[in-house]
Amino acid sequence: MRHAVLLSLVMAATWLVLSGYFIGMILTFGVISIALVVWMTKRLAILDDETVPYLNIVKTCKYYVWLFIEIVKANIQVLKAVVSPNSEISPTLVKIPMRSNIDIAQTMFANSITLTPGTVSVDVREDHILVHALLKEMSNPEDFYEMHSRSAGAVSIGLKDK
């Protein structure tokens, strides 16, 4: 029930932003489509914390602020490699162990790795991620462990031990 209310609130906000009209007919269409989507989600039996991850939005915002700073740092490093006239790169493939088996935590982690320039997740398996790094100093497992624990904390999920 709580998930249904949250989902319809978020969808109503999306509808209002995209349409921008406050006429009775269009608002009625909006209410009908929201009700239809909530009913279909309930029938699919996926109305749970993974489909509606809006409860811990504060933590997620904090995580994205941290990730933005990391992205800026990584961008400057890649920028140096691009613009210096005779630059030296050391591409590395490194296996990062996955310490969570919940889908949304894995997705957040792999997305964050790819979002940071200089590291791209090439192959995602159940127990590890294969990461291609542009420079050797970007493939430090401790940094990835910090990113993993923070991204799992953003969806309020703990990690397994090392």
Partner 1 sequence: MIISTLSTVILDSNLGWTGLVQSSLSCLTIVTGLFFVFAGTIGVLRFPDFYTRLHAAGMTDTLGAELILVGLILQSGFTQTSLKLMMIGFFLLLTSPTATHAIAHSAYTANLKPKLGKHNFSKIRGGRS
Query: Rounded to the nearest whole angstrom, what is the least distance from the CB of residue 22 to partner 1 in the complex?
Result: 11
Identity of the residue numbered 48: D
Query: Rounded to the nearest whole angstrom, what is the least distance from the CB of residue 115 to partner 1 in the complex?
Result: 5
Cβ-based neighbour number of residue 3 at 10 Å? 18
- CA-wise closest residue to 19 among 1, 5, 33, 38: 33
Instruction: Report d(CA 100, CA 69) in Å as an integer.
Output: 24
Query: Rounded to the nearest whole angstrom, what is the least distance from the CB of residue 37 to partner 1 in the complex?
Result: 18
107 close to 148: Cβ distance less than 8 angstroms: no
Tell me whether residue 32 or residue 122 sits nearer to partner 1 (CB atom): 122
Which residue ranges make up the site for partner 1 (CB under 8 A)?
14, 17-18, 20, 71-72, 75, 78-79, 81-83, 85-93, 110-111, 114-124, 130, 132, 134, 136
Tell me whether residue 50 or residue 158 sits nearer to partner 1 (CB atom): 50
> Which tokens go with 102?
């919940």
Tell me whether residue 121 or residue 149 sits nearer to partner 1 (CB atom): 121
Tell me whether residue 98 or residue 134 sits nearer to partner 1 (CB atom): 134
Instruction: Report d(CA 134, CA 117) in Å as an integer.
Output: 9
Query: Rounded to the nearest whole angstrom, what is the least distance from the CB of residue 90 to partner 1 in the complex?
Result: 4
Q: What pairs with residue 130 in β-bridges?
A: 95, 123
